[in-house]
Amino acid sequence: MRHSPSGQASNVPSILTNGGPLLSRYDVIFCDVWGVVHDGHTAFEGACEALEKFRARGGTVILVTNAPVPKQRVADMLAARHVPQSAWDDIVSSGDLALQHVAARGFQAIHSIGPQDRDQAFFSALAARSVPLDEAEAIVCTGLNDDRHEKPDHYRPLLERALERRVPFVCANPDLVVDVGGTLLYCAGAIADLYLHMGGPVFWAGKPHLNTYETAHQKAEALRNANVERSKVLVIGDALRTDLKGAQNYGCDALFIASGIHRHETVDGIDLSAAKLSDLFKPGSPPAVGAMLELMW
């Protein structure tokens, strides 16, 4: 534990150049996808090789993603970005968690927010019918309808109408923003966060919420046919708010990857800046046992 000049304990993680020694201490990895394994367009070769080596040594890799689609669609997207299937064992997607919640609540009529073409795999899996807001039992959101041109505040009038009836809001992607090839775009979580601050009821399907990690843990134990202590699970991710906070909530260690969503706050040129890392990991922020520019063995 480091200490700041003021004498307060600091949780700024140590910068690692090689992840192999750290990864070898664990039996299971819960690994983020976007920003760690690929950038939305291309797989990160070093990260994929690290996960392959971890599995070759007997480890289990559960990819944990806030993608608002079923896991088979995630697998298809990974293949399209040349992420080898040998780099992972199973997938937990926020899309599946949202679908399970809608089914469990028995919603029959929902108002959909999100691009129908991009997220068609999710919307086609919904048993509930899509209706105008005034007829809806719930709002189900996978993202902004047009994330290239809209902002969350575009949805404020709709949310105000929903709030009058306290319509439940099911968020199928708790991320606030996503890095798409260097461009930050708003996600469903940004609309859900606005509704929450307006006083609306929100169900969050995905990181950092426990439903994600409980599901991932169950999958890992089933694959290993053994109990897995949380101390033997490492969460790898690029977002403090979702990945690292989720690890903290669940009682697992975390490895921070700096070249993802926080790269503008942590990277100086092409190197991870210790000073910037210290600024990001302010007192009270979720901790990490290490930080890397990119995941590699």
Average pLDDT over the chain, rounded to an integer: 93
Reported as a single tens digit per residue, the pLDDT across 196-212 is: 999 999 999 999 999 99
Closest CA to 50 of 34, 64, 67, 29: 29
Reported as a single tens digit per residue, the pLDDT across 150-189 is: 999 999 999 999 999 999 999 999 989 877 767 788 999 9
Beta bridge partners of 111: 139
Reported as a single tens digit per residue, the pLDDT across 123-135 is: 999 999 999 999 9
Our CA dihedral for 194, 260, 213, 124, rounded to 10 degrees, sits at 60
Give the per-residue pLDDT at 183.
Answer: 77
Alpha-carbon gap, residue 133 to 120, rounded angstroms:
20
Alpha-carbon gap, residue 239 to 43, rounded angstroms:
18
In sequence order, which ranges of 34-80 are alpha helices (DSSP H)?
Answer: 45-56, 71-80
Alpha-carbon gap, residue 84 to 81, rounded angstroms:
9
Q: What is the mean pLDDT of residues 88-98?
A: 98
Rg (CA), the chain: 19
Q: For residue 3, is pLDDT > 90?
A: no
Q: Return the structure tokens found at 58.
A: 């007997």
Do 5 and 36 contact (CB within 8 A), yes or no? no
Q: For residue 84, is pLDDT > 50?
A: yes
In sequence order, which ranges of 118-225 are alpha helices (DSSP H)?
Answer: 120-125, 156-164, 188-198, 210-224
Q: 1-10, 145-154, 266-275: which has the minimum mean pLDDT?
A: 1-10
Alpha-carbon gap, residue 287 to 292, rounded angstroms:
14
Q: CATH 3.40.50.1000: which residues of the chain? A: 9-66+208-292, 96-204
Give the per-residue pLDDT at 8.
Answer: 42
Give the per-residue pLDDT at 270.
Answer: 83
Give the per-residue pLDDT at 181.
Answer: 66
Closest CA to 179 of 22, 7, 36: 36
Does domain 96-204 bear CATH number 3.40.50.1000? yes
The CATH number of the structural domain formed by 9-66+208-292 is 3.40.50.1000
Do 38 and 182 contact (CB within 8 A), yes or no? no
Reported as a single tens digit per residue, the pLDDT across 17-47 is: 999 999 999 999 999 999 999 988 899 999 9
For residue 291, the SS3 value is strand
Tokens 């890397």: give the residue. 292
Q: For residue 1, is pLDDT > 50?
A: no
| Confidence at 260, pLDDT banded by 50, 70, 90 | confident
Give the per-residue pLDDT at 220.
Answer: 98
